C-alpha cells in the first residue's frame, strides 16, 4: 500500500489548478510557474499529442519541488477528454506518470469499470487515486452515480455535473454535505450557473475545488481562475459560518458587483462571500435563496418588480416604488426587501442639480425607472416618462403624478436632466436610447455603468451637456446594500476605486483616467442647476450691474431654501435589520455678492441673468451658514426692521 499517497488529504490545499499545454515544454513551464503560488496542480497529459515525452522533465520538476502535489490526468475522448488512445494506453501513461513521481492519478469511472480488482489495487499501490465522474449535460442521478463509484476503493471521489439552473448547485451541495463526512469528496457543477458550487463546495465538505491557470485556459466550462478563487472569493477562508450573498439577474456576466462586494468584505474583515447568480427564472432564484440558503441578494434586471410580491416585508421605498433591488433573508427564513437604487440616484444628482422644480426626463418604466420617478417626484421635480411600451409608462405616470411624452416630441422639448433607466448601451451593446437631436438638456445621467462612457454619454458630451455615469449611482447604492447586510459603514472610497479599476477607468501609464462626471460646457445652464451657481467660469467673472436685468424673485419674498440632505433616509421599522443611515453632508452657503444669479428662461434657452444695480423690494437678510442638521429659519420681524430703518436714515442724509 502507498502510505505516502494516503497522507495526501492531510496536506493538500483547497485549490487544484488544472493545466494544459500544446506541447511538453509549455505544459511544464506553466506547471513550474503555478507551483510557486499554489502547491496542488492537475497536469492534463491528454492535452499533449504524445504525453510520454513530458515524463522525463516532469520527474525533474517534481524532484525540484518536493512541496508540490501533482495529479496526472489522461482522459479519453469518450469521457470528455482529448486522449484518442485505448483504455490500456491510458493506463500505461498513468503508470509511467506515477513512476515519474506524480502523487495522484485521475481515473474516470468508465476506465475503472473495465479493470479487474487486481489491476485496480496494483494501480492504487503506485499512487493515490482520484476516481472521477463527469456529466456534461445535467446534474442528475448523483446518488446513483456515487453508488457505482463506491464499489472501487479510492482516495478521493470526484463527481462533476453541469448546472442547467441555479438550484442544481443546491443539489450538488446537499450531496456533498451528505457524503463529505464519510468519504473524501470533490464535487462541483460545470457551466456558467455552476459558480455557486465551485466556491461553496468547500463549505459543504469538499476536499478541494478546481481553478484554471488563467483567463482563457479553462479545462471545463465555467471554471474560474485559481487567483479568483484564492484572492477574490477567498475559498481558503470559507467555513460553515461564512455568510453567502450574490447578485441575481439575467444576464449577469457583466456585473461588477462581485468584485466590489468581495473587496469590501475583505477590506472590512467581514466573513462573507458574494457570488454571481445567473437566474433564468424567478422561481429558480427564489428556491435557491430559500434552500441553499443565501443570507441576502442584490436583485437586478429583470426581477426588480416581479420579486416584490414574494417578499414577506419591505421598506417604505420598496412599497412606494413597487421595485426591490436588495433582499435580506431573516433568521426565520423570511425575505425582506429594500430599494437602494433610490439612494444611488438621489445621491448622484442632488449635489449637482437643485431638484425642486427641475424638469427631468426618465427613459424606461422598469425597476430603476420607478425608483427614479418616485424619488424625483418626492424631491419636487417635474418628471416626464418616455418608454417604448406606452401602457407601462402611463401606469407609472398615473401612480407617481408624472407626465408621459412621445419620442417624436423630444426634438422640441428641453430638460434639466435626462436619466436613462434602460439597459440600452450596456456592454457589449453599443446602441443609444436617444439620438443627438433628441438630447436637449443640461445633464445626462446614464444608469449604465459598464462601460463608463456609453454612446449616450458621448453624444451628450459632444453637445456640451454635463454627464453623470451610472458608476456614481452604482457606488452609492452598493454602499447602502453593504450597510444593510453588515450593519457597518461602507468603505465608499474603496468601492469606487475597485469599480473604476475593473472598468479600466482609473487610467494607465500615458493615459488619463476616464471621468465619471463631466460638467456642462459654456454657460448654457438651467436656472435650477447647482452647477450654474458653482461654475468656475462664471465665478471668475464679476457680474455686470445693469438696471434692466432683475433678480428672479418677487419683491419681499425670501429665496427658496436649498435641499439640506444629500442622502435618502431609508426607514424600515417593520424589518428586523439595522440600517446604517448615511450622514447628510453640510451644504456650503454661496456668498450673495460674488455668485452670479441665474434666471429661468424659456425651455432650451437657459442663460445666466445679470444682477441688478439696486435691490428690488425690501432687502432680505442673508443666511450666513446652513448646516445639514436643521433647515434655515427666516429672520424675526424685529431683526428685519433694523436694516430697513438704516435705509431710511441714509435717504434723509
pLDDT tens, position by position, 297-306: 999 999 999 9
Candidate list 30, 103, 167, 304, residue with the active-site label: 304
Strand pairing report for 403-404 and 382-386: parallel
* Residue whose C-alpha cell is 444576464: 251
Candidate list 46, 315, 341, 446, residue with the active-site label: 341
Single out the residue of 342, 341, 397 nearest to residue 364, CA to CA.
Answer: 397
Contacts 24+ apart (CB under 8 A), 50-57: 51/83, 51/93, 52/93, 52/96, 53/24, 54/24, 54/27, 54/28, 55/96, 55/97, 55/99, 55/100, 56/100, 57/24, 57/25, 57/28
**What was the pLDDT predicted at 10?**
58
Q: Which three cell numbers stand for residue 250?
A: 439575467
Candidate list 134, 179, 379, 476, residue with the active-site label: 134
Buried b (16+ CB within 10 A) or exposed e, 426-438: beeeeebbbeeeb
CA–CA distances in Å: residue 89 to residues 52, 104, 167, 382, 532 = 11, 18, 39, 76, 78
Give the global pTM. Answer: 0.78
Write out the E strands in 548-653: none
CATH of domain 3-240: 3.20.20.70
The 10 Å Cβ neighbour count of residue 370 is 27
Average predicted confidence (pLDDT) for the chain = 83
List pLDDT tens digits, range 175-193: 999 999 999 999 999 999 9
**What was the pLDDT predicted at 5?**
54
Which of these ranges, 38-52, 184-198, 505-519, 570-584, has the smallest mean pLDDT?
570-584
User: What topology is assigned to 242-545+562-617 in CATH?
Assistant: Rossmann fold (3.40.50)
For residues 553 and 203, what is the distance between their CA atoms, to the nearest angstrom?
Answer: 66
Work out the percent of the chain whose per-residue pLDDT is above 70: 77
Phi, psi of 387 (to 5 degrees): -140, 145
**Intervals of CATH 3.20.20.70 along the chain:** 3-240
List pLDDT tens digits, range 73-107: 999 999 999 999 999 999 999 999 999 999 999 99
List pLDDT tens digits, range 597-631: 333 333 444 444 433 333 334 443 333 333 334 34
For residues 344 and 568, what is the distance between their CA atoms, to the nearest angstrom?
Answer: 9
List pLDDT tens digits, range 12-32: 899 999 999 999 999 999 999
Q: Which three cell numbers stand for residue 46?
A: 491528454
**Intervals of CATH 3.40.50.720 along the chain:** 242-545+562-617
For residues 224 and 16, what is the distance between their CA atoms, to the nearest angstrom?
Answer: 11
Residue 143, CB-side half-sphere exposure with 13 Å CA sphere: 5
pLDDT band at 651 (very low <50, low <70, confident <90, very high): very low
**Quick check: helix, strand or coil at residue 546?**
coil
**What was the pLDDT predicted at 418?**
98
Q: Is the pLDDT of residue 634 over 70?
A: no
Is 158 among the residues known to form the active site?
yes
Is 341 among the residues known to form the active site?
yes
Torsion sign across C-alpha atoms 365, 369, 374, 376: negative
Contact partners, residue 314, CB within 8 Å, separation at least 6: 308, 324, 336, 337, 338, 575
List pLDDT tens digits, range 534-593: 333 333 333 333 333 333 333 333 344 333 333 344 333 344 444 333 343 443 333 333
Cis? peptide before 451, omega within 30° of 0: yes
Q: Give, rounded to a whole angstrom, the gap between the first and last alpha carbons of the chain.
A: 116
SS3 content of the chain, % helix, strand, coil (to 5): 35, 15, 45
For residues 217 and 615, what is the distance between their CA atoms, to the nearest angstrom?
Answer: 73
**What was the pLDDT predicted at 427?**
85
pLDDT band at 211 (very low <50, low <70, confident <90, very high): very high
Is 134 among the residues known to form the active site?
yes
Candidate list 96, 103, 158, 254, residue with the active-site label: 158
List pLDDT tens digits, range 121-137: 999 999 999 999 999 99
- Measured in whole angstroms, the distance separating CA 558 from the mean position of its chain's CA atoms is 44
Q: Which three cell numbers stand for residue 298?
A: 442584490
* Pair 565, 627: CB distance under 8 Å: no
Is 523 among the residues known to form the active site?
no
Per-residue pLDDT, averaged over 628-643, amounts to: 42
Which of these ranges, 262-271, 448-457, 545-554, 605-614, has the smallest mean pLDDT?
545-554
Amino acid at each position: 500500500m502507498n502510505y505516502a499517497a494516503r497522507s495526501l488529504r492531510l496536506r493538500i490545499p483547497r485549490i487544484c489548478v488544472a493545466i494544459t499545454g500544446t506541447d511538453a515544454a509549455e505544459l511544464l513551464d506553466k506547471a513550474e510557474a503555478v507551483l510557486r503560488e499554489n502547491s496542488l496542480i492537475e497536469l492534463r497529459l491528454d492535452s499533449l499529442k504524445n504525453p510520454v515525452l513530458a515524463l522525463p522533465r516532469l520527474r525533474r520538476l517534481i524532484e525540484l519541488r518536493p512541496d508540490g502535489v501533482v495529479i496526472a490526468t489522461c482522459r479519453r475522448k469518450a469521457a470528455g477528454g482529448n486522449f484518442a488512445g485505448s483504455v490500456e494506453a491510458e493506463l500505461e501513461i498513468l503508470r509511467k506518470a506515477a513512476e515519474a513521481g506524480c502523487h495522484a492519478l485521475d481515473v474516470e469511472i468508465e476506465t475503472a469499470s473495465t479493470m479487474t480488482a487486481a489491476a485496480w489495487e496494483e494501480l492504487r499501490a503506485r499512487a493515490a487515486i482520484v476516481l472521477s465522474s463527469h456529466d456534461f449535460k445535467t446534474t442528475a442521478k448523483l446518488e446513483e452515480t456515487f453508488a457505482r463509484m463506491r464499489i472501487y476503493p479510492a482516495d478521493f471521489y470526484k463527481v462533476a455535473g453541469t448546472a442547467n439552473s441555479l438550484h442544481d448547485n443546491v443539489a450538488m451541495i446537499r450531496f456533498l454535505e451528505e457524503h463529505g463526512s464519510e468519504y473524501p469528496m470533490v464535487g462541483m457543477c460545470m457551466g456558467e450557473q455552476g459558480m455557486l458550487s465551485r466556491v461553496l463546495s468547500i463549505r459543504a465538505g469538499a476536499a478541494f475545488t478546481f481553478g484554471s491557470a488563467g483567463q482563457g485556459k479553462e479545462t471545463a466550462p465555467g471554471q474560474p481562475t485559481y487567483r479568483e478563487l484564492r484572492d477574490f472569493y477567498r475559498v481558503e477562508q470559507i467555513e460553515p459560518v461564512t455568510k453567502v450573498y450574490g447578485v441575481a439577474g439575467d444576464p449577469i456576466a457583466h456585473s461588477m458587483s462581485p468584485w466590489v462586494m468581495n473587496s469590501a468584505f475583505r477590506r472590512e474583515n467581514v466573513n462573507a462571500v458574494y457570488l454571481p447568480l445567473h437566474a433564468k427564472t424567478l422561481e429558480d432564484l427564489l428556491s435557491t435563496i430559500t434552500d441553499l440558503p443565501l443570507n441576502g441578494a442584490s436583485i437586478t434586471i429583470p426581477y426588480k418588480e416581479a420579486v416584490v410580491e414574494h417578499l414577506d416585508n419591505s421598506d417604505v421605498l420598496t412599497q412606494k416604488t413597487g421595485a426591490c433591488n436588495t433582499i435580506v433573508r431573516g433568521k426565520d427564513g423570511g425575505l425582506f426587501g429594500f430599494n437602494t437604487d433610490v439612494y444611488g440616484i438621489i445621491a448622484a444628482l442632488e449635489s449637482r442639480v437643485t431638484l425642486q422644480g427641475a424638469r427631468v426626463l426618465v427613459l424606461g418604466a422598469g425597476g430603476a425607472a420607478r425608483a427614479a420617478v418616485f424619488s424625483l417626484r418626492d424631491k419636487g421635480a417635474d418628471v416626464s416618462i418616455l418608454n417604448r411600451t406606452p401602457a407601462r409608462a402611463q401606469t407609472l405616470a398615473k401612480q407617481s403624478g408624472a407626465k408621459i411624452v412621445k419620442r417624436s416630441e423630444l426634438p422640441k422639448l428641453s430638460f434639466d436632466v435626462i436619466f436613462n433607466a434602460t439597459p440600452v448601451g450596456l456592454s457589449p451593446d453599443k446602441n443609444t436610447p436617444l439620438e443627438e437631436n433628441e438630447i436637449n438638456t443640461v445633464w445626462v445621467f446614464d444608469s449604465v455603468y459598464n462601460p463608463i462612457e456609453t454612446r449616450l454619454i458621448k453624444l451628450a458630451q459632444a453637445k456640451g451637456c454635463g454627464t453623470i455615469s451610472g458608476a456614481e449611482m452604482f457606488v452609492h447604492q452598493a454602499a447602502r446594500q453593504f450597510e444593510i447586510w453588515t450593519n457597518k459603514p461602507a468603505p465608499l472610497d474603496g468601492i469606487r476605486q475597485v469599480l473604476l479599476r475593473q472598468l479600466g477607468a482609473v487610467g494607465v501609464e500615458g493615459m488619463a483616467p476616464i471621468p465619471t462626471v463631466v460638467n456642462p460646457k459654456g454657460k448654457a445652464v438651467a436656472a435650477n442647476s447647482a452647477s450654474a451657481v458653482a461654475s468656475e467660469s462664471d465665478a471668475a467673472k464679476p457680474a455686470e450691474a445693469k438696471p434692466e436685468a432683475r433678480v428672479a424673485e418677487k419683491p419681499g419674498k425670501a429665496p427658496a431654501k436649498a435641499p439640506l440632505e444629500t442622502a435618502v433616509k431609508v426607514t424600515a421599522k417593520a424589518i428586523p435589520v439595522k440600517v446604517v443611515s448615511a450622514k447628510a453632508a453640510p451644504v456650503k452657503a454661496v456668498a450673495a455678492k460674488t455668485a452670479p444669479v441665474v434666471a429661468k428662461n424659456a425651455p432650451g434657452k437657459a442663460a445666466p441673468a445679470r444682477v441688478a444695480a439696486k435691490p428690488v423690494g425690501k432687502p432680505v437678510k442673508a443666511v450666513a451658514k446652513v448646516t445639514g442638521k436643521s433647515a434655515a429659519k427666516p429672520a424675526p420681524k424685529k431683526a428685519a426692521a433694523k436694516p430697513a430703518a438704516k435705509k431710511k436714515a441714509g435717504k434723509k442724509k
